[in-house]
A = this chain, B = another copy of it.
């Protein structure tokens, strides 16, 4: 191969890559404020009945909803009121807060994928009809992208992959270690927390670019 041929080949590769980047669908971003998932037993303890949760609005992920009900988190250093409950009820209670919230409460949440709560700190949860102390379950949620199976095929990624996502703008950044979660039940959306949204000056519905 001559230098000219090689140069042309590299040029074509760069052109193809840029075209692919520009033609690739963007990923809408949803900013998660602090929230809590409750087990049925926790709902009963805090609200007096397992059926107490009522739907306020549907969330972007099918079947998920924000409840009208909220709880108060009580940490060793402070409390946070009106923490939204997300439904439906789950197997285990999980509290998702930002690191900033952690300072307020006096709790140091590790960065974890949802559901991975072994060895995480607990907290006191106050509801209108009772109080509950959990011994684990407080996390700062790791960045992740919900993808329908068809999205995963389109982006060429698999469940459990970690990818980089580029954010544009004055506080532009590339977020690393973004977990891919694939399910027939998911709708394409990247979830970040409020600290990450502020750091990137990212607004709800803004889009990111997946870098392979």
A residues apposed to B, CB below 8 Å: 1, 3, 6, 98-100, 111, 142-143, 170-177, 194-196, 198-201
Contacts and interface: CB of A to CB of B under 8 A. Distances in A.
Given A99-B201, A195-B195, A199-B198, A111 B1 contact: no
A174 B174 CA distance: 5
B170 A173 contact: no
* Copies of this chain, count: 2
Contacts of A111: 170-171, 201
Contacts of A199: 195-196, 198-200
Nearest to A168: B176
A177 B200 CA distance: 11
Contacts of A170: 111, 142, 177
B176 A174 contact: yes
A107 to B, nearest CB: 14
Contact of A176 (B143, B173, B198): B173
A3 B201 CA distance: 46
**Which of A1, A194, A195, A196 counts the most B-chain CB atoms under 10 A from its CB?**
A195
Contacts of A171: 111, 142-143, 176-177, 196
Contacts of A142: 170-171
A103 to B, nearest CB: 9
Contacts of A100: 100, 194-195, 198
A194 B38 CA distance: 30
B176 A98 contact: no
